[in-house]
């Protein structure tokens, strides 16, 4: 019975993963570049970043993702970066390679970064899935996926920091989307418009300088392609010049889940780990979600003195 339960869950996860292309990170409040191209080079630092995420650990074939990124300033106004993303979820393999470009400027007390991501995406399922007794072998969508699907995709984003305290992020995924290997067979447009999908975050930095710590609450609204609407309520604490970083993320809109974050920053190296626990009925059968991010931050020779938000 337990084996059948796991098999059914994996089938659901595989179908969900086939639809979902936008990566879901927990560490974006600390590393905004994971979701927002407007943050590219924003802090006048060269940042090399690696992220690993294991969702629903304990299930065979549960989603595992790997991300490697770089971004940094080019002169006083521009930022450039790029990254590679790979995910394995059951029999699905997803691969993305992207480039990030941003224009940065300051208006009074407000610092603004406007960015663009261009991306090549390929998704493909293992042929073995077609022989699974739970799968219809005549499903044309799965047959196409076995051959692989390739897309060009572009997203836009903005990161705004006012008076080193109030920050606002907006990302618009899939503003341009085109099938590269063949014309889509379903007849539906690949791009649904600039405002069809979005990720928005609003937060405030409470800097208690005499006690050497910061408290950063924020809220995120996420409506992305083929994924239910999601709300994140985030709270960060940064102590002793970020030698200790803590955080909580509560997601009430997806059945309920809570992520606990713990990290540190020592000189140029930053590390962050989080554990996600779901309030859904299947949680007793899962080991929760695990995410680890490591970054190396190198100051630019022309770095300014604007306090960082990450």
- The full set of domains in the chain, from first to last, is 2-299 (2.40.160.40)
CB 135 within 8 A of CB 142: yes
Q: Is the distance from CB of 81 to CB of 99 less than 8 angstroms? A: yes
Q: In the numeric block, which tokens belong to residue 5? A: 């339960």
Angle at 158 between CA 271 and CA 50, to 5 degrees: 25
Q: Which of 195, 186, 190, 187 is nearest to 177 (CA)?
A: 190
Cα 92 to chain centroid, rounded? 18
CB 271 within 8 A of CB 258: no
**Taking the chain (310 residues) in consecutive chunks of 10 residues, what is each chunk's mean pLDDT?**
45 48 84 96 96 82 91 95 91 91 96 96 77 67 73 95 97 91 55 76 93 94 86 95 94 85 95 90 72 94 51
What per-residue confidence (pLDDT) applies to 183? 52
pTM of the model: 0.83
pLDDT score of 279? 82
Separation between Cα atoms, residue 20 and residue 7, nearest integer Å: 20
Give the Cα separation of 228 and 205 in Å (integer).
Answer: 29
Between CA 23 and CA 40, with CA 100 as vertex, the angle to 5 degrees is 95
Which residues are CB-neighbours of 27 under 8 A, at least 6 positions away?
A: 34, 51, 261, 272, 274, 291, 293
Residue 306: DSSP 8-state: P
Residue 255 sits at φ, ψ, to 5 deg, of 90, -10
């Amino acid at each position: 019975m337990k084996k059948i339960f796991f098999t059914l869950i994996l089938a659901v996860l595989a179908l969900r993963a086939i639809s979902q292309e936008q990566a879901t990170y927990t560490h974006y409040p600390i590393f905004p570049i994971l979701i927002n191209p407007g943050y590219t080079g924003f802090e006048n630092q060269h940042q090399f970043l690696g992220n690993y995420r294991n969702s629903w650990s304990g299930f065979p074939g549960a989603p595992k993702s790997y991300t490697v990124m770089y971004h940094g300033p080019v002169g006083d106004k521009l930022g450039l970066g790029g990254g590679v993303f790979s995910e394995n979820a059951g029999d699905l393999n997803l691969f993305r390679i992207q480039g990030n470009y941003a224009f940065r400027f300051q208006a009074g007390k407000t610092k603004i970064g406007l960015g663009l991501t261009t991306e090549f995406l390929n998704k493909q399922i293992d042929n073995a899935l077609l022989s699974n007794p739970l799968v219809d072998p005549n499903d044309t969508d799965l047959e196409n996926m076995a051959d692989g699907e390739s897309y060009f995709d572009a997203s836009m984003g903005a990161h705004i920091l006012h008076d080193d305290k109030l920050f606002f992020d907006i990302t618009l995924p899939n503003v341009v989307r085109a099938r590269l290997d063949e014309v889509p067979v379903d007849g539906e447009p690949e791009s649904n418009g600039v405002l069809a999908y979005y990720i928005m975050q609003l937060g405030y930095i409470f800097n208690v300088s005499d006690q050497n710590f910061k408290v950063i609450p924020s809220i995120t609204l996420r409506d992305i392609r083929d994924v239910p609407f999601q709300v994140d309520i985030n709270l960060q604490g940064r102590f002793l010049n970020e030698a200790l970083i803590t955080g909580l993320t509560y997601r009430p809109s997806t059945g309920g889940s809570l992520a606990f974050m713990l990290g540190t920053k020592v000189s140029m190296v930053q590390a962050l780990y989080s554990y996600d626990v779901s309030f859904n009925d299947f949680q007793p059968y899962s080991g929760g979600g695990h995410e680890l991010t490591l970054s190396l931050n190198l100051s630019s020779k022309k770095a300014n003195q604007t306090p960082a938000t990450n």
